[in-house]
Amino acid sequence: MKFLKAIVPAALVMGMASAAHAQTYLRLTGSTAYRSNVHTAISDLTIWDAGSLKAVYTGSSGLLNSSQVLFTGTTGSGATTITIATSWTGSEAGNEQVSAQLVMPNAQAFLTGVPAGSFAAVSPGGAGGASVAATFQTDTTAADVAMSDTYQSTSQFYNSSLNLDVVPSGASNPVSFPALTSAASGITGSLSGTGIVGIVPFKFCASQGSALTNITQQLAKALWSAGQLSLSEFTSNSADVGTTGVITAGPAGGGNGKWVFASGRNPDSGTRLTALSEIGLGALAPVLQFQPTNGSGAQIVTANSGSIASNLQFPSGVVNYININKSNNGYASGGNLAKAINNPTTSMQFIAAPTSKSILGGQYIAYLGTNDADPQITATSHIVELAYNGVTLGIPGGTLRPDGTYNYNSTSTLLYGAYSFWGYEHMYYNTASPNLISSNPNSANNQLLADSIASQLFTADAVVLFSNMKVTRSGDGGTIR
């Protein structure tokens, strides 16, 4: 594996050196869960001329955690300029956009046209860069590379043809979604050719103040199928049987708070696909999910912002150009979902129209990636990590990563398979994309650049390194062995 890490960048530099003053360009999209790791891997590549790497990004969360970053640097003693643009739209959106070569939505366009003086130096590990206004997000060119939390075969945008409910510019129904090419990350053996670059672990978490400690696969399957379960199914206590009532006056009244509600992500989310695969529902199965809502009727996206006022069946919407029914929708961001359930739930009210049957109080359970869950688990007022089938992933000790996340590379319950809520992170690309199509004179170098990023993740910068795992699985939610 170390040989590949060395040889791919070396081949990249040699290839670029053969074309003096070449311009290499690559656009990446997909999984939000791996954005900080990809940004770290780009900054850690050995191809950069000393001191040449610079970047700009949107927002105030820093380069590593930004949703849009534009890197630029040189290699081969200045012979070649390399530009890498990232915009993280979600795992399924990445598969969809890259496979069908759909233009990027305006709100998620790549950065472009940024003045040279706005860029700031980036050091290995991803420190540095400079924030710029979102007004530079004007490049809607289709992406070349998709980061995916799931296998291609799990996605609805794999070897398929679909009629989209909202047709993006430049496309027409039916839209074809051909298979993508797996990046050469360095993985060998039975999983060779799958584009695996690392491991992505997940957690089930209960809302702030919950006394729950565990969820089983069967309970999770039942919860996301029905949307709500009596608390007694988790505690085996007759005093925890949930009841409903009829509102008679004012906002109060109704059933007791002995209920557990499902919340989660929208169908764009690789976290959702992995969770539904893991619990046996099937990655693309419809679910029933609820939305924490404030007193103004708006979706809650911040932690400790006050008591949740209403518990709504998640409103319908359009996700990945497809209409999503009420209750089957969910949060677009795992970070916002984790923050939303980190609020008091004792005063929230659920009204089941048209019967006006109501429930006052209750609690949520949600599925979350570790990078989204952990900040809310470790907060002073916090959500509650649940054991899954009796096994807790926990919060690792030791030094934090450069992006401020916890390091799970020594967590034995994960590495040896006792904890099963995890998946593989993949890199896929489309060899018909603008920068990888054979008619582009730099296509070979651009593909080598993508493979170099995949190799850097695989050998050093993934959330959990593949080489540290003592077990494998052949598919999302598949048997661990």
The 10 Å CB-count burial string (b at 16+, else e) for 448-461 is bbbbbbbbbbbbbb
Token reading at 42: 């780009």
Q: Report pLDDT for 10.
A: 59
Q: What is the CA radius of gyration of the chain?
A: 23
pLDDT at residue 85 is higher than 50: yes
pLDDT, averaged across the chain:
92
Whole-number Å distance between alpha carbons of 315 and 289: 9
- What pLDDT does 256 receive? 81
> What mean pLDDT comes out for the span 301-311?
95
Q: How many other CB atoms sit within 10 Å of the CB of residue 280?
A: 12
* Span 357-387, pLDDT tens digits: 688 899 999 999 999 999 999 999 999 999 9
Write down the H helix ranges in 227-282: 232-235, 270-278
Q: Is the pLDDT of residue 114 over 90?
A: yes
Distances (CA, A) of 262 to 66, 94, 242: 28, 26, 15
- CA 244 → CA 237, 292, 380, distances in Å? 18, 19, 32
Q: Measured over all CA atoms, what is the biggest interatomic distance in the chain, rounded to whole angstroms?
A: 80
Q: How far apart are CA 139 and CA 330, in angstroms?
A: 28
DSSP state, residue 374: H
Rounded to whole angstroms, the Cα distance separating 333 from 69 reads 18
Q: Are residues 213 and 205 in contact, defined by beta-carbon separation less than 8 angstroms?
A: no
pLDDT tens digits, 117-142: 999 999 999 999 999 999 999 999 99
Give 1's pLDDT tier (boundaries 50, 70, 90). very low
Question: Which residue intervals of 45-192 are DSSP H helices?
Answer: 91-100
In the structure, what pLDDT confidence band is assigned to residue 244 with cuts at 50, 70 and 90?
Answer: confident
Cβ-contact 290, 262 below 8 angstroms: yes
Instruction: Reply yes or no on whether the pLDDT at 55 is more than 90.
Output: yes
Question: What 3-state class would DSSP assign to 456?
Answer: helix
Rounded Cα distance between 430 and 28, Å, is 11
The owner of tokens 């998620």 is 108
Q: Where are the alpha helices (DSSP H) in 103-242?
A: 217-226, 232-235
Mean pLDDT of 428-450: 95
pLDDT, average across residues 250-277: 86
Place 249 in a pLDDT band, splitting at 50, 70 and 90.
very low
Q: How many CA atoms lie within 13 A of 106 on its CB side?
A: 2
Which runs of consecutive H residues, i.e. helices, occur in 33-126?
Answer: 35-44, 91-100
Least confident range from 96-105, 167-176, 299-308, 344-353: namely: 344-353
Whose CA is closest to 119, among 167, 182, 51, 61?
51
Distance CA 331, CA 350 (A): 18
Structure tokens given for 302: 């911040």
What is the pLDDT confidence band of residue 353, given thresholds at 50, 70 and 90?
low
